């Protein structure tokens, strides 16, 4: 049973929410995202944008639809995300070689430099998360457990 102090003498019973896996996952996600946003504030970068840049950097020339699918982002939302990154001069679209109707994504030279800076921030952020979890073994256990839910 979980309880937190209320505004009066009685304790507020919270176990019906805090003891639920989904609730705890959502609270953890919110906390991690808030810390991510603070860490990446100077770069003006959101989690989905970082993920897109990292995937494009690791997979140049892949179709826009492939990257969106891997990230679980709907097509219309991903187009808006890429429009923003393209507007910042970080990515570019080219016609895909095998299907000229599809867009292939690439980092620009500025985008590659930007991603290098962002990866350094991410490395520090990840190290902090691993420390908060209790070390690399705890991280590996958490990733394994989360993988079971996917």
Q: With a cut of 70, say whether residue 5 has pLDDT above it.
A: no
Task: Tell me whether residue 12 is in a domain.
Answer: no
Task: Tell me whether residue 18 is in a domain.
Answer: no
How many CB atoms sit inside 10 A of residue 56's CB? Answer: 25
Task: Tell me whether residue 88 is in a domain.
Answer: yes
Q: What is the CA radius of gyration of the chain?
A: 20
Task: Tell me whether residue 79 is in a domain.
Answer: yes
Indicate the number of domains in the chain.
1
Q: Do 121 and 43 form a contact (C-beta atoms < 8 A)?
A: yes
What integer is the mean pLDDT of 80-86? Answer: 97
The tens digit of pLDDT for each residue in 95-116 reads 888 877 789 999 999 999 999 9
Full-model pTM: 0.85
Q: Do 51 and 33 form a contact (C-beta atoms < 8 A)?
A: no
Task: Tell me whether residue 71 is in a domain.
Answer: yes
Range of the domain at 144: 23-37+44-148
- pLDDT score, position 3: 57
Task: Tell me whether residue 15 is in a domain.
Answer: no
Least confident of 6-10, 24-28, 34-38: 6-10
Query: In angstroms, rounded to a whole number, what is the distance separating the alpha carbons of residues 113 and 109?
Result: 6
Domain harbouring 100, CATH code:
1.10.10.10
Task: Tell me whether residue 141 is in a domain.
Answer: yes
Task: Tell me whether residue 115 is in a domain.
Answer: yes
Mean pLDDT, the chain, whole residue set: 93
- pLDDT score, position 18: 84
Query: In angstroms, rounded to a whole number, what is the distance separating the alpha carbons of residues 114 and 54?
Result: 10
């Amino acid at each position: 049973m979980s309880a937190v102090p209320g505004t009066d003498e009685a304790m507020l019973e919270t176990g019906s929410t805090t003891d639920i896996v989904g609730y705890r996952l959502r609270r953890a996600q919110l906390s991690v995202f808030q810390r991510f946003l603070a860490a990446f504030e100077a770069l003006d970068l959101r989690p989905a944008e970082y993920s897109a840049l990292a995937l494009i950097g690791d997979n140049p020339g892949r179709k826009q639809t492939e990257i969106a699918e891997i990230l679980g982002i709907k097509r219309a939302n991903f187009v808006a995300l890429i429009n923003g990154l393209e507007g910042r001069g970080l990515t570019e679209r080219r016609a895909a070689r095998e299907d000229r109707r599809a867009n292939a994504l690439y980092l620009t030279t500025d985008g590659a430099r930007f991603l290098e800076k962002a990866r350094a921030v991410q490395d520090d952020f990840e190290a902090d998360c691993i420390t908060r979890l209790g070390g690399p073994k705890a991280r590996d256990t958490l990733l394994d457990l989360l993988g079971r839910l996917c």
